Structure 1
């Protein structure tokens, strides 16, 4: 098997310095150190230009030079992206091209000629046909997408070939394996043996495994996980591959038309035709206002004489202000009043600093106030909390009360099997995790989970993996303690 390990590193433009310093020292520097010490490892890396600029500005030139050194040594291959992490599918074509060209221009300035990507990564793996066409016309050969983009379902794309995009002849695509990526980034396994088992039979075949994760996960969000990353990367069970090398090892699986999607979207969202719901939902008036404000500022700035200092200054600020985070934090699924206000204020200031008519400034002020008023209203009235309650209304009922006893007991067997497997692999923390999940289910305390324990089990295990509950002749004492009473008892059950 060929492991194509892809990491995306990025920090919002307004990230607080103390947090930025932590990310550098907990994640970026350890990753570079680990790669330098393991010369055989390869990493496909995306670094948005805004992060490169910030690293240099804040005195972390060693991170930039370290990545450059690793690229020159043949261990890191850069991908291209949007300079300021813009949500590309919803931007005008001219803005998309500008973000991409700026990303290449700025990163080339700091990394030199070694920065010459043939692979494109759209922030959030956000995709539509417009992106494919633009990326192809700009000369890129590869695109990486989440596997759900293949046909709207998971576990459908083949790991034995690449595909070509129908709407952009010559542009090839590889798909992220979502389950294994989540397994690794959520630290649901910290044992190489169990990790190999999770990958399954393809580990011994001429297949590829593309994991795509945020680089900050390793060391910053999950302390110590960077050590396990290097352990599994160093295992002899797989070879390492750059995305650009896939053509040497795999054949085309034919032409496809990927669906509009992102790397966080679920199958149900696509059925409901909500491919970008965390960034632009039709039933979210706050996001609608944000996008209207963004389009207004883009149109106003682009109407200026491009040769003037006024335009150049405004254009620079506008590029920086199109980051995707502002819409994401207004989705209600994720919420930050601070981020919403700061982003809208930045757009307002772009117009206010122009030598333009008062009417434009009045309109910018109106947009800013509308965004702010609505956001504060949602915060004050408790709408945000109520939204989360309604979203998880089903979870307010304990699992044992919303499923039949047979399936509940089947899940106890699944949890028990996963617990015993973890203990056998000496992953004792993980074994305790699954044991505690069983206790939660029996007590009904699963209603307080942020990520429900059953959903979490689905990420690491194909369910059902155990044989059907009714076919067992005997059970462990542990399992019987947590079963629900079941009226129908086959004659071969022991008393």
Structure 2
């Protein structure tokens, strides 16, 4: 019996205001800066569009399939990793999305993962990991508040992973972590088995990126030799895979937003559970069930200077830290930590953390080729323009922090 862990990353950033001018922030309080630093007209428009095209119809399809197979020997189960940034926007502009996730939570066939509330790079700030832990705890409180759920499994921002991160996760009480099945880490080994972190008992589930990307990136590619991808064809591929557990993890926005409904992607999602369960040797499990059922087959050692992620071809941190603009912006964010902490102001702290959303750095990517096309699709702005605007905002934010410290 081979198990299928089907998981979805659910995230929308707060995009910065590309037209920001410092004069707009003059004399404004911290709460007013949210509508000056971020383009919330654009953010709301995108969220409402994605909710209509993806979140609501996909959630209905998932719920229908859960109900269909409920009580049977083999049930349909899925996993979600929902960012705090998305939940923050849904509370303001699309509460019906959170209601639909609550319905899924009540089925007992859905597992929710923890991540950093702000979908940030806080895990890379320092070896001390204090900021990282606080953002994780904030997300944990969110899962309890929204779904009365306490996650046992962790998925770091964009699957970012190294051995020092796992030590922090183990100390926080997590049982396992999901990360990328990167070839340079696995070597000859398969991603379809359970592993353990090096020098830790933390269990590691590795994503099968080939099978995941068949859905996320190749589904509507007419030049792909396997096009069209149908649910029965995909299920047949899974039935031929050897291993304990096949971890399929994609952006939830794949279903209706990145891949338009006209491509048949929602019909694919609707048919997939039945096609998979037609094979007696396939079953659906959540990650926590998988690590309880299976024995680990080996250790994964990922050093801090070889950090992996699920981004781009290199599956490294280059998507956010691969050029001088990104490195400079990241260092500026880190340097603000001391001043922000000294203010003892929760509103300032929260605004600084929203400026840590990893997408801000992702949009500064400059390397040509296929990865640049993906970054450009999400950004819709030139990288240099993003860099200039983002650092103008950081300059203004630092001025506001300095003013606060002078008052005190």
TM-score by length of 1: 0.64
Greater RCO structure (CA 8 Å; 6+ sep): 2
CA distance, structure 1, for counterparts of residue 243 and residue 79 of structure 2: 20
Report the CA distance between 1:163 and its aligned residue. Answer: 1.0
Question: What residue in structure 2 maps to residue 165 of structure 1?
Answer: 197
Is the CA contact 1:185–1:217 (under 8 Å) kept in the aligned structure 2? yes
CA distance, structure 2, for counterparts of residue 285 and residue 44 of structure 1: 36
CA distance, structure 2, for counterparts of residue 356 and residue 57 of structure 1: 29
Question: What residue in structure 2 maps to residue 81 of structure 1?
Answer: 115
1:218 equivalent among 255, 270, 295: 255
CA distance, structure 1, for counterparts of residue 171 and residue 179 of structure 2: 18
2:211 equivalent among 147, 157, 180: 180
CA distance, structure 1, for counterparts of residue 333 and residue 5 of structure 2: 36
CA distance, structure 2, for counterparts of residue 35 and residue 346 of structure 1: 40
Matches within 5 A, 1:304-453: 304-306=342-344, 311-332=345-366, 333=372, 334=375, 336-337=381-382, 339-356=386-403
Structure 2 segments unaligned to the other structure (5+ residues): 16-41, 70-75, 220-226, 367-371
- Give the SS at the match of 1:253: coil
- Give the SS at the match of 1:133: helix
- Give the SS at the match of 1:239: strand
Is the CA contact 1:149–1:260 (under 8 Å) kept in the aligned structure 2? no
Q: 1:82 to 1:198 in 2, by over 3 A?
A: same
Report the CA distance between 1:181 and its aligned residue. Answer: 0.4
Tell me if 1:29 matches 2:50: no
Report the CA distance between 1:293 and its aligned residue. Answer: 1.4
Is the CA contact 2:152–2:288 (under 8 Å) kept in the aligned structure 1? yes
How far does the alpha carbon of each residue in 1:204-241 deviate from its partner, in whole angstroms, 9 at most, with x for none?
Answer: x6632111100001011112312202211222223111
Tell me if 1:247 matches 2:291: yes
1:134 equivalent among 162, 165, 168: 168
Question: What residue in structure 2 maps to residue 108 of structure 1?
Answer: 144
CA distance, structure 2, for counterparts of residue 13 and residue 149 of structure 1: 32
State the Cα RMSD in Å. 2.3
Question: What residue in structure 1 maps to residue 267 of structure 2?
Answer: 227
Question: What residue in structure 2 maps to residue 45 of structure 1?
Answer: 80
Q: 1:158 to 1:12 in 2, by over 3 A?
A: closer
Q: Based on CA coordinates, which of the two structures has the bigger radius of gyration?
A: 1
Q: 1:106 to 1:240 in 2, by over 3 A?
A: same
- Give the SS at the match of 2:256: coil
How far does the alpha carbon of each residue in 1:436-477 deviate from its partner, in whole angstroms, 9 at most, with x for none?
Answer: xxxxxxxxxxxxxxxxxxxxxxxxxxxxxxxxxxxxxxxxxx
Is the CA contact 1:150–1:156 (under 8 Å) kept in the aligned structure 2? no
